[in-house]
Structure 1
């Protein structure tokens, strides 16, 4: 039981792709060592007059892989619905990366000053009515501004996202590989200003832990050149090569969110590779800091995943095989977490009957050993605690460890939501119309290093 619990808590996919990520990391480190070796040999060759230095030959090979893309070739597209509180800062952040004429805002039937603020900032604005939802707004913006013909890359940005100043500097080189058609952004939670409530700070910390686990232990390995099985290019801050974006059906009827579907479209139509690296295309996003918004967002995400699976089904190919295994694992893990508390209580009651009241019937003896306290400690809390240690080290935040005992409760909540919305994905059709969550006024800090902060603004 302990081994099964550990596997379900950590996940077979997490374990497998973590190993794949380690191999990828070793390969990248070996490549860097080779580059430095070539540079040293080149410098020696140059000093001794031995012809073209090795570094120049290395750069020539790199250039031959693909055409370099500059920030002027990148369009930023932001779909917004009642985002007057944050849209100005988002535009400032985007204008630190590309010229303002490259920034396009689609105000999806906003009833506040979203469109007016965007126009005053000097960017292109499209107003829609009625409310079409994010996917509809993005599709309308791509068509209206003719982005696929005017630019080489489109960067999709949420209205509350803050890309780092080096977002394009680190992200665009991934397109040097001509087979790469999308770059998945690295998500981090905005921690400043902190939530005014303890539950809010806890929710944001849990979400940041999720980002770290999924991106470092799963996505990094899944994006390896020989794998290419990334299941989501997050819509909050990612980039698409326009030649591929033109082939993607952004507005798919009946789906509550668009990013899962756009990713599945890449795999289904065999458009190319999805690139991801933890140090590239980093952006900060504002996560819910109250339980109501958290549940609402998780429900949308999970419903969107199941709806996308329903739309595309399971096809032949490496991605679809990995997806099928993940679905089996996801359902099994959710069932485990949903039954965890009832099973533990039932086992504890049976143990009391056996050891205190002396009831030695076979049923009570069996139930008393189903899920003992040591099983929960070793099989659930310790593996989950290891994930928190990873996040605490990555965030350089030891305080995260103090919240670790409560994180399994959030996983139980996530599991309940996942199983609850599964039938809805096959019985209901979503309009995609959105209602923006409550936003916190964002205070940028130099420590975060987010584009748009006073130290990072340009122009």
Structure 2
């Protein structure tokens, strides 16, 4: 029983279900002989090497895309981010809101030729985005707005693969596919471990969960991540971007789409790929994860129960998340008690019944079969997807990170129902970007296996 319970905690019922749905989507795509991420009517456009066109196919053109970046003290990285973005759209299409920055962020932006709005005092990311949408009149001037983080690098084919997903008129948002920036690599072993763990989490959540959730009949995607995703501007006026009292905006914006039935969210693992800089020290990692999870719980509190498949999926997700977090947090104490019981029964030939009982709470073989092996399977999945063995180096330590995530999740739950957030933000420590990301650095299998940054904690693969 303990083995089955642990296995469910590690893999998750939701993961297994949406993996099957994603597999069905992949098989359907193969039957239609479509390249993943592109509609049949767009294949000739992709082969020609030109950008998407709207000559009757409903696909927006790159010139109709505005890029909006909210930045707080991002002078170290924002210049490179804008440089990558200008390879896809003109600099005039890029709009940056410097939110209370004191490090020359606005000066760096001006030097690139992009538009900049300076705000003081710090309003937080959501407040900065809302101010930028209004100040630059983006909803009136553009058809699509791409929300981009200051440290995000867009893949060279981000728009070429992402815009065709808007060909269906009911699609109002396209969730970006996250991958971690590992160039430059963190200097410390801990940093490299954290980056590998986060990349594994991205692969599992997006390939095994999100792709299935984006099926047309389901429309159950729980987050359109704010690091690099696109919205139709016609729905922005109906979304409460600020979400007063919330620490982050992307969960809230996603829930707004579902609650107000504004349209469908699309995602494909081979489309709209972008690279984000993840924390390479434990302090920044803890702060970021707590902020993300707190934002999720605050959004659930704000919106409550939802209707349809999304609502059912959310209820199952929350129940599974809570149960898995509790079990993972109790895992180490249970194992310690078991070891103590085993020690006593080994030393004392006639131990009391209490120690005999305690020695069987979580035997080592159950921990191995129920936790370590299933979690190792996720690591092997990441190795096969990325064709990189570096994940195996840290395989035995990944479960400890999941226990940390679970503890942060439960702690944030208590905070979400006990306090409100101002939204004011502080950026984590940044690593200066170096060499450009070539398309070949993208996982070569993207879109081939059934599949779907910010994911939720890795408990139950969420």
Q: Give the alignment's TM-score, normalised by structure 2.
A: 0.89
Does the 8 Å CA contact 1:154/1:242 hold for their aligned counterparts? Answer: yes
Does the 8 Å CA contact 1:66/1:175 hold for their aligned counterparts? Answer: no
Q: Distance in 2 between matches of 1:238 and 1:414?
A: 25
Q: Which residue of 2 aligns with 1:145?
A: 136
Q: Distance in 1 between matches of 2:34 and 2:60?
A: 26
Report the Cα offset of residue 292 of structure 1. 0.3
Q: Deviations over 1:119-147 (max 9, x none)?
A: 12111111111110000000000011110
- Unaligned 5+ runs, structure 2: 41-52, 443-462
Report the Cα offset of residue 317 of structure 1. 2.1
Does the 8 Å CA contact 2:239/2:256 hold for their aligned counterparts? Answer: yes
Report the Cα offset of residue 351 of structure 1. 1.7
Instruction: Give the secondary structure class of the aligned counterpart of 1:427.
Output: coil
Does the 8 Å CA contact 1:65/1:178 hold for their aligned counterparts? Answer: no
Matches for 1:114-129 after TM superposition, within 5 Å: 114-129=105-120
Q: Which residue of 2 aligns with 1:23?
A: 24
Instruction: Give the secondary structure class of the aligned counterpart of 1:246.
Output: helix
Matches for 1:50-199 after TM superposition, within 5 Å: 67-199=58-190
Report the Cα offset of residue 30 of structure 1. 0.9
Q: Distance in 1 between matches of 2:389 and 2:138?
A: 44
Q: Deviations over 1:244-290 (max 9, x none)?
A: 22211100100000000000000000011100000000000000000
Q: Distance in 1 between matches of 2:35 and 2:370?
A: 42
Q: Distance in 2 between matches of 1:311 and 1:66?
A: 38
Instruction: Give the secondary structure class of the aligned counterpart of 2:66.
Output: strand
| Match of residue 258, structure 1, among 212, 233, 249 | 249
- Unaligned 5+ runs, structure 1: 40-61, 452-459
Q: Which residue of 2 aligns with 1:8?
A: 9
Q: Deviations over 1:265-322 (max 9, x none)?
A: 0000001110000000000000000000000000000000000000001133221111
Q: Which residue of 2 aligns with 1:227?
A: 218
Does the 8 Å CA contact 2:173/2:231 hold for their aligned counterparts? Answer: yes
Report the Cα offset of residue 364 of structure 1. 2.1
Q: Which has the larger radius of gyration?
A: 1
Deviating above 6 A after TM superposition, structure 1's stretches of 4 or more consecutive aligned residues are: 62-65
Q: Deviations over 1:47-81 (max 9, x none)?
A: xxxxxxxxxxxxxxx98995220000000000001
Report the Cα offset of residue 358 of structure 1. 2.4
Does the 8 Å CA contact 1:8/1:333 hold for their aligned counterparts? Answer: yes
Q: Distance in 2 between matches of 1:353 and 1:314?
A: 49
Matches for 1:339-350 after TM superposition, within 5 Å: 339-350=330-341
Q: Which residue of 1 aligns with 2:390?
A: 399
Does the 8 Å CA contact 1:192/1:442 hold for their aligned counterparts? Answer: yes
Q: Give the alignment's TM-score, normalised by structure 1.
A: 0.90
Does the 8 Å CA contact 1:164/1:450 hold for their aligned counterparts? Answer: no
Matches for 1:356-435 after TM superposition, within 5 Å: 356-435=347-426
Instruction: Give the secondary structure class of the aligned counterpart of 1:232.
Output: coil
Q: Deviations over 1:353-402 (max 9, x none)?
A: 22331244332222211211100101000000011111111122112111
Q: Distance in 2 between matches of 1:95 and 1:181?
A: 24
- 1:241 has 2:232 as partner: yes
Higher relative CO (Cα under 8 Å, sequence separation at least 6) belongs to 2
Q: Distance in 1 between matches of 2:307 and 2:379?
A: 36
- 1:331 has 2:322 as partner: yes
Distance verdict in 2 for CA 1:450–1:181, change over 3 Å: farther
Does the 8 Å CA contact 2:65/2:142 hold for their aligned counterparts? Answer: yes
Q: Which residue of 2 aligns with 1:292?
A: 283
Distance verdict in 2 for CA 1:285–1:372, change over 3 Å: same
Q: Distance in 2 between matches of 1:314 and 1:33?
A: 37
Report the Cα offset of residue 106 of structure 1. 0.4
Q: Distance in 2 between matches of 1:307 and 1:65?
A: 42
Q: Which residue of 2 aligns with 1:53?
A: none
Does the 8 Å CA contact 2:257/2:263 hold for their aligned counterparts? Answer: yes
Does the 8 Å CA contact 1:256/1:303 hold for their aligned counterparts? Answer: yes
Q: Which residue of 2 aligns with 1:44?
A: none
Q: Distance in 2 between matches of 1:162 and 1:197?
A: 23
Q: Distance in 2 between matches of 1:24 and 1:89?
A: 36
Does the 8 Å CA contact 1:76/1:155 hold for their aligned counterparts? Answer: yes
Q: Deviations over 1:8-41 (max 9, x none)?
A: 1111111111111111111111111799xxx9xx
Instruction: Give the secondary structure class of the aligned counterpart of 2:76.
Output: coil
Q: Distance in 1 between matches of 2:87 and 2:8?
A: 44
Report the Cα offset of residue 97 of structure 1. 0.8
Instruction: Give the secondary structure class of the aligned counterpart of 1:284.
Output: strand
Q: Distance in 1 between matches of 2:437 and 2:274?
A: 14
Q: Distance in 2 between matches of 1:447 and 1:316?
A: 42
Q: Deviations over 1:208-249 (max 9, x none)?
A: 001001000100110011111000000000000111222111
